[in-house]
Amino acid sequence: MNTLPGVWLDDLTRQEVASRLDGNAVVLVPVVLAGTPAPHLPLKTAALIARALGQALLQRLPVVLAPVIDADSFSRPEMLERVLGDRLDGLRALGARRIVVLEISPSPLGTPQVLADGLVVRAGDRLADDEYVTSCLMALDPRSVRMPLLPASSRSQAFAGERGMSAEVDEIATAVVSKWPDLI
């Protein structure tokens, strides 16, 4: 059995989902948009950061974390809006009433249109900063960073990535608890 306060949605059985989403659970839906990563970073970078932030949130809050939606895989914004809307409708059909869309992107994605009754939290404003993103990946999966392609002037460090992600988790947790104080 899971000993963390939170849980990944896809780790649950149908029966566990029904009992967990009893109307009081908070469900986080991460949506990532990274654009074109730096040449020394793999395409999975933004999704990997999103999963790491999600895992840290599960260790702090009793939330249910839905699978990451990769907005980069949609060629048109209306496709993302439709997929996100379908995901939110599916979660509501399962009993979710408290939903947070976690935008992890260097710029706002415009998800408030599909989530009138929940909360949109932005993280990843620093995804446009190659130093920050590289530092995060150095902390999470250092073998993925193509070191020969890293600019010689880079000051990226794993420790800086850990600190940055920790600050992001603090901000996200504060926003969620501010909306639903009974969560803690």
- Band of residue 11 on the pLDDT scale cut at 50, 70, 90: very high
**pLDDT for 98-142, tens place per residue?**
999 998 887 766 665 556 668 888 887 776 678 888 999 999 999
Kindly report the CA angle at 135 between 131 and 137, in degrees rounded to 5? 120
108 backbone φψ class: left, alpha, beta (φ>0; ψ -120 to 50): beta
- Extents of the domains making up the chain: 7-176
The answer to whether the pTM exceeds 0.85 is yes
Specify the fold of 7-176: Rossmann fold (3.40.50)
Strand partners, 103: 31, 122
pLDDT at residue number 147? 94
What is the maximal distance between C-alpha atoms in the chain? 53
Three-state DSSP at 182 gives helix
Per-residue model confidence (pLDDT) at position 23: 65
